[in-house]
Amino acid sequence: MSIDILFHVSHRGAGRYLFPLIAAARRRGASVACFFTYDGVLVAADPRLKEVLGDARAVVCEESWHRFRPGEPCPVEAGSQTVNSALMAEATRVVSL
């Protein structure tokens, strides 16, 4: 499945931009996906994410999750940088936040 926009989230403060951008993209009918790494994984822990994502794919770098949220269950799909590389291959556009 192709992805119109891949949001690459690597900053804990990115939620303020990510959530409205996902919502806007979906309103326009664009398919989106998210990959969270470094302290951007903290955005994945925000309960608002699932509301805006709908059926879009969201993957958290497992290593970063364990670093910033040790011992806590991951709320979305956990993956590796291999998944990140695969998503880049599927995405038409990449937005880094």
Partner 1 sequence: MNTKRKLLVLARRDHAEAMRVAAGLTIFGHQVRLVFMDRLVAETEENAAMAELLALSDIAPETTVAEQTDLAYLDAAALGAAIAEADGVLSL
Residues lying near partner 1 in the complex (CB under 8 A): 2, 8, 10-11, 37-38, 63-64, 80-82, 84-86, 88-94, 96
Name which of 16 and 93 has its Cβ closer to partner 1. Answer: 93
| Rounded least distance, CB 10 to partner 1, Å | 5
Show the tokens assigned to 7: 């949001």
Provide the terminal-to-terminal Cα distance of the chain, rounded to the nearest Å.
Answer: 23
Neighbouring-strand partners of residue 9: 36
Name which of 11 and 26 has its Cβ closer to partner 1. Answer: 11
Name which of 41 and 50 has its Cβ closer to partner 1. Answer: 41
Closest CA to 53 of 28, 31, 78, 36: 31
